Amino acid sequence: MDWVIQTHDLRKVYQMGEVEVEALRGVSFNIQRGEVVAIMGPSGSGKSTLMNTLGCLDRPSAGEYVLDGETVANLNDDQLADVRNRKVGFVFQSFNLLSRQTAITNVELPLRYSSNSKYAGNAKGRRARAIEALKAVGLENRMTHRPAELSGGQQQRVAIARAIVNDPAIIMADEPTGNLDSKVGKEIMKLLLDLNKESGTTLIIITHDPTIAEQTQRVIRLRDGLLESGS
Amino acid sequence: MSIAQAFLEALESISGNKLRSGLTVLGIVIGVAAVIAMLAVGNGAEASITGSISSIGTNLLFVFRGSPESQQEAPDRSSAQNDRPLTLADASALADPFAAPSVAIVAPAIQGNGMITFAGENASTTITGVTPEYFAVRNLELSEGEFINQEHLLGRMSVVVLGPEAADAIMGRHDGIVGESIRIEGQPFRIIGVLEAKGGGAFGSEDNSAYLPFTTAQARLLKRNARDEVDVIFVQATSGETVPQASEEIANILRQRHRTPIGSDDFTVFTQQDFLQTFGAITGVLTIFLGGIAGISLLVGGIGIMNIMLVSVTERTREIGLRKALGARRRDILIQFLTESSLLSLIGGIIGIILGWLISYAVGQIAAANGTDFIPLVTTDAVALATIFSAAVGLFFGIYPANRAASLEPVEALRYE
Ligand SMILES: Nc1ncnc2c1ncn2[C@@H]1O[C@H](COP(=O)(O)OP(=O)(O)O)[C@@H](O)[C@H]1O
Ligand SMILES: [Mg+2]
């Protein structure tokens, strides 16, 4: 099997003063390359914590995690930053675009931090790739607009272009339609699924919305930091 | 991320918040402007004083009565009662080309103040009794007429060479006045020459002076205890290099003539160099003082920048979290904020340099309007120093905020509201 994500007994403990909060209490599952997976569960069940761990934004307190063939549990901060840059594309609920920058500059941002010789010190190459990504999300006519000049759906498209610009192994979307009305949310979901079909990029979506979960191949359900189903 | 990119992003960020950036750099602007202006004015003053010291003559030495110590304590004649006065004979001994080969010209003089009068107009002026050599030693030039010559001296003639200011004061003009008769302390004198204006000097204005033959002044206006007593002997050395030798030769001759043992001279030899050195010591203190002001203002400016950078880091916590999520390393964030703080400070420095230059230009204009010949000088050294220093201040005071930004945990930063 071609696993893009392999976890074994992932645990995450937050220290809140005296109290220890166990956000993940031993989570083990694998995800195949190209799979579309939804992570569901009630609020506080550990979905965001899991996503932060899978996205290499945070290290697990214990357990093993192999992302696209790389053991990442013990990497230092800068190594994690590099892994995020190369392998992970994030889509956030609140878009998280730089408000002062144009769409194309926002999309280029991951490439600016790339150590790939294709982009490092090659402003033209970065721009060309960013334009491709914006075309892929259907925003070739909005490239020089700033976020304030774009609708919510368009902003999320810019964010998706930014997520795919560096050809990541996985795209992680934390409630990507949470700030959008249902019609626009459907369009965004369709875009994510289309991108998955075209490029085969693994897609992990955290969601509350059962209609979204229905469109995915698999649903991982969390409760109180444990897998309920979907492993 | 490359430095060029960091520079562009910093520029965007600074220009995206112009009012705040402007207020932030105000401290640096004012500090640098003050330093540039003060250095320029100081340089201008130095140039003008050095110039006026040079303008009193070339390779010049001054011989005064009294020991060097008494010159420093109280440079007036009363404290030197026990010292032998300098005499005309001393002066001619110094002119001996065998005993003093480094001496070119010797000019003894007596000096005092007096009232000059013309057609009912009075003015107080400096009266100097001189020999013909005086004019050469002091680099004086005539706008009309002639200097005092040997004939005037021997004949104890009632002739006077006037400085232009003295002439203006009583006659309202200083040209076409040769041959006119004026009164000095009530006695009639004929004007034989008028000097070229020299501008204010460090030793009072030569322009407000009346020069008489030494013998005339001695006999009729500036009476001294002994008939051949002089107040000061001006000596010109043969060249700039021989000034120290000339000083040695003069001291040896006078020690012999006054029979004073070494170490208890009753005369003092000053060179122009001595004056310049004294002046250099004063400007040194001034420079330290200005440096202190510069340091304090840059410190205050730097703290202002640090403060705003800390605010900026807090405001942009989410942005930092996002950049880290997208792959920015510690170093990338560090460079981003350090570039921003340095650039901010550098812009302040450049504005400060321009402002300081304008201020010193204005000071120069005001001085010119008031008739002072003094040009403030903004040196490239000062500009380079201000540029480097302001950037360094931004860099230094940016370290703490930038470090704070770079140390943010991406998860925490992204959650920040
Ligand atoms: N940084 C943190 N510090 C302390 N506790 C945290 C932190 N992040 C999450 N938690 C706790 O861990 C648990 C799981 O949170 P989270 O992963 O955000 O759940 P979800 O995204 O499913 O709502 C919750 O009890 C939450 O309070
Ligand atoms: Mg959550």
Q: Distance between CA atoms of A151 and A128, rounded to whole angstroms?
A: 24
The pair phi, psi for residue B355, each rounded to 5°, is -60, -45
The finding on whether A41 has its CB within 6 A of some atom of ligand 1 is yes
Q: Please report which confidence band the pLDDT of residue B202 belongs to, taking 50, 70 and 90 as the band edges.
A: very low
Q: What is the pLDDT of residue B336?
A: 93
Q: What is the pLDDT of residue A134?
A: 96
Q: Please report which confidence band the pLDDT of residue B281 belongs to, taking 50, 70 and 90 as the band edges.
A: confident
Could you say which ligand is closest to the alpha carbon of residue A58? 1
Residue B327 and residue A52: Cβ atoms within 8 Å? Answer: no
Which residue has better confidence, B96 or A65?
A65
CB B344 within 8 A of CB B9: no
The finding on whether A48 has its CB within 6 A of some atom of ligand 1 is yes
Q: Please report which confidence band the pLDDT of residue B79 belongs to, taking 50, 70 and 90 as the band edges.
A: very low
Q: How many residues does chain B have?
A: 417
Residue A81 and residue B13: Cβ atoms within 8 Å? Answer: no
> How many Å is the Cα radius of gyration of chain B?
32
Which whole number is the average pLDDT over B139-164? 91
How is chain A split among helix, strand and coil, in percent rounded to 5? 35, 30, 35
pLDDT at B204 over 70: no
Q: Distance between CA atoms of B33 and B397, rounded to whole angstroms?
A: 20
Q: What is the pLDDT of residue B297?
A: 83
pLDDT digits (tens, 9 = 90+) for B24-49: 898 899 889 988 888 888 888 777 77
pLDDT digits (tens, 9 = 90+) for B287-339: 788 778 877 888 888 999 999 999 999 999 999 999 999 999 999 999 999 99
Q: Which protein residue has the closest C-alpha to ligand 1 atom 7?
A: A14
Q: Give whole-number Cα distances, A88 to A38, A105, B227, in Å.
A: 16, 19, 106
Chain B closest-CA separation from residue A58 CA (Å): 7
Q: What is the pLDDT of residue B200?
A: 55
Q: Is residue A205 part of a domain?
A: yes
Could you say which ligand is closest to the alpha carbon of residue A226? 1
Domain with A113 in it: 34-59+87-229
Token pair for B63? 């011989």
Q: Distance between CA atoms of B330 and B409, rounded to whole angstroms?
A: 10
Alpha helices in B61-148 (DSSP H): 68-73, 88-94, 133-137
| Three-class secondary structure of residue B407 per DSSP | coil
Pairing of strands A36-40, B267-271: unpaired
pLDDT at B280 over 80: no
Q: Please report which confidence band the pLDDT of residue B255 belongs to, taking 50, 70 and 90 as the band edges.
A: confident
Q: Pick from A81, A82, A96: which is nearest to B318 by CB?
A: A96
Token pair for B21? 């950036």
Contacts of B330 in chain A (CB under 8 A): 77-78, 81
Residue B187 has a CB neighbour count (10 Å cut-off) of: 13
Q: Pick from A52, A110, A120: which is nearest to B326 by CB?
A: A110
Chain A closest-CA separation from residue B52 CA (Å): 59
Q: Please report which confidence band the pLDDT of residue B82 belongs to, taking 50, 70 and 90 as the band edges.
A: low
What residues contact A136, with CB distance under 8 A and at least 6 apart? A161, A164, A195
Q: Distance between CA atoms of A16 and B233, rounded to whole angstroms?
A: 91
Average pLDDT, chain A: 93
Of B62-66, B230-234, B289-293, B405-409, the range with the lowest mean pLDDT is B289-293
Average pLDDT, chain B: 86
| Three-class secondary structure of residue A38 per DSSP | strand
Q: What is the pLDDT of residue B77?
A: 45
Q: What is the pLDDT of residue B8?
A: 87
A47 CA distance to ligand 1 middle (Å): 8
| Total structural domains within chain A | 1
Neighbours of ion ligand 2 (CB under 5 A): A 48
Orientation of helix B330-369 relative to helix B3-15, angle to 10°: 60
Which residue has better confidence, B64 or A31?
A31
The finding on whether A26 has its CB within 6 A of some atom of ligand 1 is no
% of chain B beyond a pLDDT of 90: 37
Query: Residue B380 gets which letter from DSSP?
Result: H
How is chain B split among helix, strand and coil, in percent rounded to 5? 55, 20, 25
Chain B closest-CA separation from residue A164 CA (Å): 11
Q: Distance between CA atoms of B240 and B237, rounded to whole angstroms?
A: 7
% of chain A beyond a pLDDT of 70: 100
Q: What is the pLDDT of residue B81?
A: 53
Q: Give whole-number Cα distances, A141 to A103, A109, B150, B193, B253, in Å.
A: 10, 19, 99, 89, 98
The pair phi, psi for residue B213, each rounded to 5°, is -60, 140
Q: Distance between CA atoms of B127 and B204, rounded to whole angstroms?
A: 12
Which whole number is the average pLDDT over B208-221? 89
Q: Is residue A221 part of a domain?
A: yes
pLDDT at B166 over 80: yes
Convert A23-60 to b/e letters by CB count within 10 Å (16 or more is b). bbeebebebeebbbbbbbbeeebbbbbbbbbbbbbbbb
What residues contact B36, with CB distance under 8 A and at least 6 apart? B352, B353, B355, B356, B357, B359, B360, B378, B382, B383, B386
Q: Which protein residue has the closest C-alpha to ligand 1 atom 25?
A: A44
Q: Distance between CA atoms of B137 and B330, rounded to whole angstroms?
A: 72
CB B130 within 8 A of CB B213: yes
Q: What is the pLDDT of residue B72?
A: 56
pLDDT at B61 over 70: yes
CB A33 within 8 A of CB A82: no
Q: Is residue A137 part of a domain?
A: yes
The finding on whether A53 has its CB within 6 A of some atom of ligand 1 is no
Could you tell me which residues are beta bridge partners of residue B155?
none
Would you kindly state where each structural domain of chain B is located, as residue ranges? 3-53+277-414, 84-265
Residue A113 and residue B326: Cβ atoms within 8 Å? Answer: yes
Angle at B381 between CA B378 and CA B383, to 5 degrees: 60
Q: Is residue A16 part of a domain?
A: no
The finding on whether A45 has its CB within 6 A of some atom of ligand 1 is yes
Give the chain B residue nearest A55 (alpha carbons). B325
Which whole number is the average pLDDT over A115-144? 92
pLDDT digits (tens, 9 = 90+) for A8-63: 999 999 998 899 999 999 999 999 999 999 999 999 999 999 999 999 999 999 99
Q: Please report which confidence band the pLDDT of residue A138 belongs to, taking 50, 70 and 90 as the band edges.
A: very high
Could you say which ligand is closest to the alpha carbon of residue A92? 2
Q: Pick from A96, A98, A113: which is nearest to B328 by CB?
A: A113
Contacts of B328 in chain A (CB under 8 A): 81, 113
| Three-class secondary structure of residue A132 per DSSP | helix
Contacts of B13 in chain A (CB under 8 A): 100
Residue with tokens 């230009």: B361
pLDDT digits (tens, 9 = 90+) for A150-206: 999 999 999 999 999 999 999 999 999 999 999 999 999 999 999 999 999 999 999
Pocket test for ligand 1, best of A10, A12, A14 (most atoms within 8 A of CB): A14
The pair phi, psi for residue B60, each rounded to 5°, is -90, 140
pLDDT at A83 over 90: yes
Chain A closest-CA separation from residue B375 CA (Å): 47
The finding on whether A16 has its CB within 6 A of some atom of ligand 1 is yes
B13 CA distance to ligand 1 middle (Å): 33
Chain A closest-CA separation from residue B10 CA (Å): 12
Contacts of B320 in chain A (CB under 8 A): none
| Three-class secondary structure of residue A32 per DSSP | strand
State the best of A58, A61, A113, A164 to mutate against chain B, taking most chain B CBs within 10 Å.
A113
pLDDT digits (tens, 9 = 90+) for B216-235: 988 888 877 777 889 899 99
CB B31 within 8 A of CB B352: yes
Which whole number is the average pLDDT over A94-121? 92
CB B275 within 8 A of CB B63: no
Which residue has better confidence, B48 or B89?
B89
% of chain B beyond a pLDDT of 70: 94
**What's this model's pTM, rounded to 2 decimal places?**
0.74
Q: Please report which confidence band the pLDDT of residue B56 belongs to, taking 50, 70 and 90 as the band edges.
A: confident
Q: What is the pLDDT of residue B150?
A: 92
Pocket test for ligand 1, best of A12, A16, A21 (most atoms within 8 A of CB): A21
pLDDT at B75 over 50: no
Q: Please report which confidence band the pLDDT of residue A70 belongs to, taking 50, 70 and 90 as the band edges.
A: very high
Q: Is residue A11 part of a domain?
A: no
Q: What is the pLDDT of residue B175?
A: 86
At A53, which CATH number? Answer: 3.40.50.300
Which whole number is the average pLDDT over A218-224? 94
Q: Which protein residue has the closest C-alpha to ligand 1 atom 14?
A: A46
Residue A77 and residue B329: Cβ atoms within 8 Å? Answer: yes
The finding on whether A14 has its CB within 6 A of some atom of ligand 1 is yes
